[in-house]
Copies of this chain bind each other. A is one copy, B any other.
Amino acid sequence: MGQKPITFLRQVVALCSFPELLDSSSFPEDAKQRARRILQGCGGQSLGSYSASQGVDCIRQDIAVYIEQRDKGVPADWDNIYLTTGASDGIVSILKMLVSGQGRSRSGVMIPIPQYPLYSAAISEMEAVQINYYLDEDNCWALDINELHRAYQAAKEHCHPRVICIINPGNPTGQVQSKKCIEEVLHFAYEENLFVMSDEVYQDNVYSPDCQFHSFKKVLYEMGPEYFNTVELASFHSTSKGYSGECGFRGGYMEVLNLDLEVKAQLVKLLSVRLCPPVSGQAAMDVIVNPPLPHEPSYLQFHKEKSAVLGALAEKAQMTEQILNTVPGIKCNPVQGAMYAFPRIFIPPRAVEAAMSLGMSPDMMYCLRLLEETGICLVPGSGFGQREGTYHFRMTILPTTEKLKVLLEKFQDFHIKFLKEYASLEEPKRSEDDTQEALKQFR
């Protein structure tokens, strides 16, 4: 999408990959120092060796230091840190540990709707029971504690709810959870003895000045030892998001809390079947948790590059929301964080009927038409889940500002054309319909 890599990160990975470069004067000293530290932690001082299945020791130590700083002193034990092959690998591994039972005792996993489809795919693959809790679109996609209770009580009838998954900041919904909301979720998990999986891969992607990232772990700590020493928690981070966007390196880590020692032993056993996460991805993760410090030679450039990426994302988040909300029949919540807008589209009933007759979900038909007519690829909301009868799409805010503007204009033209095509023959009796309401603005 045109986002430039962070120079310092790539320098460290290149130095680790080909250590002869450590003698080159064209690399800054702090990058060399990071590379030497990582290599000293590797078997045979080489990225080419298997690491321990849990990851390279010194990288796990750096991650623990990072978490302590992020969470204002809440202790982090590097024995609880596991490097992973991207966050997905960690999420799937933890789910594997938690799924068991048959029939009514089969493990149930609570996930937000809309969700990132890794969750539904993994749950389906493991034949666990998916328990949907719906985010509140009318309240900026906030998590509503009453909805959690409703979903839990309903699911208890046919499965054994054991896990609650949270994505914060949200994918695809872009909301950032308030501290109060997180406290409610953790209290609920404590009461119902649920394992909490907190997907925090967008922790660096918070744009709205009214929002702040709170880690589930920090909030749990602040709720007191009765919570902090009891609730089982796994949280996930990744090299793929934030300001680095290094998806291809497949770097990530998870931190677990309050896991029984025997369970941890089984977890390491499970992870060891795949030997170890890619060591170059581990090195990339190390740079993200251990970036240049203000007194180091690479600091200025690093800081400039990081600010440029995050500043542009914040600008594009706001722009995307604003432009989408000028389009009749589109309603977009603020993009508080993450990398996506997930607007609601009001699809005219005749278009819904046309899609049904093609055996296709209406938002899929909408997105396919958009792709065919403009070359713009959006992902239909049905891929993430949505309340029945509502339609959405997910759109990344990643293209450059200039491209994004062109894209949003093209999108607007398409949308108006689409509405005209399907709404012109609309009968007046349906005027109470959302679509009609949207069309009023438009006419």
Contacts and interface: CB of A to CB of B under 8 A. Distances in A.
Interface of A: 1-3, 5, 10-11, 13-15, 17-18, 21, 24, 26, 42, 44, 46-51, 85-86, 88-89, 92, 96, 118, 121-122, 125, 240, 244-250, 270, 273-281
Contact of A89 (B13, B88, B274): B274
B24 A18 contact: no
A24 B275 CA distance: 35
Contact of A24 (B26, B50, B86, B240): B26
Contact of A122 (B85, B118, B273): B273
A10 B5 CA distance: 20
A270 B125 contact: yes
Contact of A275 (B14, B125, B247): B247
A121 B249 contact: no
Closest 7 CB pairs of A and B: A248-B279, A14-B18, A278-B278, A250-B278, A48-B246, A14-B17, A10-B18
Contacts of A21: 14, 21
Given A50-B248, A122-B273, 19 more contacts: A2-B44, A13-B280, A14-B18, A17-B17, A24-B26, A42-B248, A46-B248, A47-B248, A47-B249, A49-B247, A49-B248, A88-B274, A92-B274, A121-B273, A248-B278, A248-B280, A250-B275, A278-B280, A280-B280
B11 A118 contact: no
Nearest to A281: B278
Contact of A85 (B3, B249, B250): B250
A118 B279 CA distance: 20
9 contacts: A13-B280, A47-B248, A48-B247, A85-B250, A85-B278, A88-B273, A122-B273, A125-B270, A249-B280
Nearest to A19: B10
A249 B48 contact: yes
A13 B5 contact: no
A275 B48 contact: no
A85 B14 contact: no
A273 B122 CA distance: 8
A17 B10 contact: yes
B5 A11 contact: no
Contacts of A26: 24
A10 B17 CA distance: 6
A381 to B, nearest CB: 19
Nearest to A247: B50
Contacts of A11: 18
